[in-house]
Amino acid sequence: MIEIRLTKEFAEQANRQIPAGLFVFEPFIKGKTEWTDETTLVFRPAKLLDPGKIYSGELNLYKLGEVKERLKVFPLRIQTLRKDFTITTGALECPSAEENKYILNGELVASDFIEEAEVEKDVGAKLGKKKMAITWDHSGGLENRNR
């Protein structure tokens, strides 16, 4: 989301209009522009932006009202975070000598939002050559716990 706060006087001049081409991005970003209050204009991308990418853009202020020549186009530059994460594991536990079972708790912390399905697809566990089952707890936001 890109949020632009305008002066009250300029926002009144804009009269809450949203003309076509108000926000322009390269590469193109599909999205929706809306007023969230009397002075705040918001652009919401239709989908998450690609990670690790730079977007150049413009807010064409001249489409909202009369402005000085040097203020007609407000440049925008957005750089999204590169997708990255760290995994921290605890000690390997053997809850009962009678069971042939081990527990390894861990935590994955991401630099930015990652879909739960993507985390589960990309992170696995093996014991020797045998793939082990992982139980996930995704309730921590950017932190995902596994067991």
Please report the domains of the chain, with CATH numbers, ordered by start residue. 2-79 (2.60.40), 85-146 (no CATH)
Pairwise CA distance, residues 100 & 86, whole Å = 29
The dihedrals phi and psi of 98, each to the nearest 5 degrees, come to -75, -30
Tell me the pLDDT of the chain (147 aa) as tens digits.
999 999 999 999 998 999 999 999 999 999 999 999 999 999 999 999 999 999 999 999 999 999 999 999 999 999 999 988 898 988 888 877 667 777 888 888 888 888 888 888 888 888 889 888 888 888 766 555 555
> Which pTM value belongs to this model?
0.70
DSSP state of 30: -
Pairwise CA distance, residues 3 & 41, whole Å = 6
DSSP-derived 3-state class of residue 110 = strand
Residue with tokens 């730079």: 54
